[in-house]
């Protein structure tokens, strides 16, 4: 039996990639394609965005479109995602959330919704990135003393939040492995006379330019050596296939808030 899937932000870069991934997966069925009011693609066949008609029209009538869907995959913006989550909570649809940039209040809304529906939420659904996170956890435990930690991320010029959700998740994983609170030890950018680097801090640097899909490097810098763990994305398809894997994994879960470590069995 096919899993009925809705794609939010259908006409965006990630939305088009998700549509392509769903249409080529025999176990999934594209049931709805969503966009905001006023979008130039409303009413058009979603498949035409990737050059192959599929019979699903792009709509802004979210409540109507979600009826009959099993899952919605959403890589849009926090305000849109929270609107979708509220409707999913009512309709029993399971969200797969790749959106980043939520504040604490938004995260609480999602956590509360997960008491009634199953939700998969991750800053990055790439299997490779999540393997990288597991490697970082191991490295941090082994390099816990005498190493300074720097997180460097690079994305396309249109990305609106910084640091990336993936970079922050990398920082959280490293901080957790070291018994630190990232909110207390993070440094975001440097300027002017900053003084010597403080011990036990985790620093972030952000690069934005061109059409970079997503590069992330964590450096553990000691006296006389450094260890670098890097993941580079050359296509958004790896995010899409990971998100589809999460949607299929959620089918067996009635409620709860999960991430890709759960999906991949890393816990």
Residues annotated as catalytic are 155, 159
Helix (H, G, I), strand (E, B) or coil at 4: strand
Sign of the CA dihedral running 106, 112, 117, 119: positive
Q: Give the gyration radius of the chain's Cα atoms.
A: 19
Instruction: From 43, 89, 96, 33, select the one nearest 65 (Cα to Cα).
Output: 33
Beta-bridge mates of residue 94: 71
The DSSP 8-state label assigned to residue 198 in this structure reads P
Give the span between the Cα atoms of 77 and 4, in whole angstroms.
23
Give the span between the Cα atoms of 40 and 127, in whole angstroms.
33
Helix (H, G, I), strand (E, B) or coil at 141: helix
The DSSP 8-state label assigned to residue 39 in this structure reads -
Give the span between the Cα atoms of 165 and 259, in whole angstroms.
13
């Amino acid at each position: 039996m096919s899993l009925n899937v809705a794609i939010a932000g259908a006409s965006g870069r990630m939305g088009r990639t998700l549509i392509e991934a769903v249409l080529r997966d025999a176990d999934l069925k594209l049931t709805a394609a969503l966009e905001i009011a006023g979008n130039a693609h409303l009413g058009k066949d979603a498949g035409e965005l990737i050059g192959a008609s599929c019979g699903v029209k792009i709509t802004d009538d979210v409540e109507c479109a979600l009826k009959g869907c099993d899952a919605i995959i959403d890589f849009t913006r926090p305000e849109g995602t929270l609107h979708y989550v509220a409707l999913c909570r009512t309709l029993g649809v399971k969200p797969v959330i790749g959106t980043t940039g939520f504040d604490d209040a938004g995260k609480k809304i999602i956590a509360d919704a997960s008491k009634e529906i199953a939700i998969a939420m991750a800053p990055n659904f790439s299997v490779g990135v999540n393997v990288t996170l597991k490697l970082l956890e191991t490295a941090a435990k082994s390099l816990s003393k005498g190493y300074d930690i720097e997180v460097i991320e690079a994305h396309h010029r249109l990305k609106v939040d910084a640091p990336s959700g993936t970079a922050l998740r990398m920082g959280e994983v490293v901080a957790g492995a070291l018994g630190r609170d990232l909110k207390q030890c993070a440094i975001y950018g440097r300027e002017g006379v900053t003084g010597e680097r403080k011990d036990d801090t985790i620093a972030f640097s952000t690069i934005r330019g061109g059409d970079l899909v997503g590069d992330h490097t964590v450096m553990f810098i000691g006296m006389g050596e450094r260890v670098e763990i890097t993941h580079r994305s050359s296509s958004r398809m790896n995010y899409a296939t990971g998100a589809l894997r999460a949607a299929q994994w959620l089918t067996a879960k009635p409620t709860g808030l999960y991430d890709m470590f759960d999906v991949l069995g890393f816990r």
